[in-house]
Chains A and B, each alone.
Chain A
């Protein structure tokens, strides 16, 4: 399996604070993704990257930004966290068309 790790795995923060989630992969995959998972909504795409410094928005990108300065790292930033951003966040990288490798998830609680 792809080596893909997320940090932190759990975080509790307060409304209005910035939060950064990190995703690190060791497979030299070009494409990387950030999803959020909420009950009743499944996985929803936030942002994705198709190369260093190349990113694009997904279906729920408002309130989030991303950066990819190196192939192996993809950062997700919540500029000013809100309670609606309480969720489990998953990072993934693409091995080949259709086959995503997911991290273990980061559970974020915004109070």
Chain B
């Protein structure tokens, strides 16, 4: 079946730098793509989403880019802070919600 996947399982960045977390998807019928953040011991938390008819969406310090040609989704975090350290999941909405395996972001002081 089709699945959502991530390019890298871990990412380490310096505090203040920008972070880019990538995700590949294969289900071209998905109508929403979503990013979630999960801190240790907690449930995932919604960050930002993008509809399939959009290429880019910006939030507070975060930007999601969608490239439907290559079926690629990315989350950019500007001026990464220690509080951004977490596991980040991409998900696609196609009837139900399917998640990728996650990328662990570590922010070095």
Q: Across the interface, do A105 and B101 meet the contact criterion of CB distance under 8 Å?
A: no
Q: Mark A32-49, 1 if CB is under 8 A from B, else 0.
A: 010100001111110010
Contact of B93 among A40, A43, A90, A97 (CB under 8 A): A97
Contact of B42 among A45, A58, A104 (CB under 8 A): A104
Q: Across the interface, do A45 and B98 meet the contact criterion of CB distance under 8 Å?
A: yes
Q: Is the interface of A mostly helix, strand, loop or mixed?
A: strand
Q: Is the interface of B mostly helix, strand, loop or mixed?
A: strand
Q: A42-B101, A45-B98 are in contact. Are A98 and B49 (CB under 8 A)?
A: yes
Q: Across the interface, do A33 and B43 meet the contact criterion of CB distance under 8 Å?
A: no
Q: Give the interface residue-count category, chain B.
A: 20 to 34
Q: List 24 A-B contacts (CB under 8 A).
A: A35-B99, A42-B99, A42-B100, A43-B89, A43-B91, A43-B99, A45-B97, A45-B98, A59-B98, A97-B31, A97-B32, A97-B93, A98-B33, A98-B46, A98-B49, A98-B91, A99-B34, A100-B46, A100-B97, A102-B44, A102-B45, A104-B42, A104-B43, A105-B43
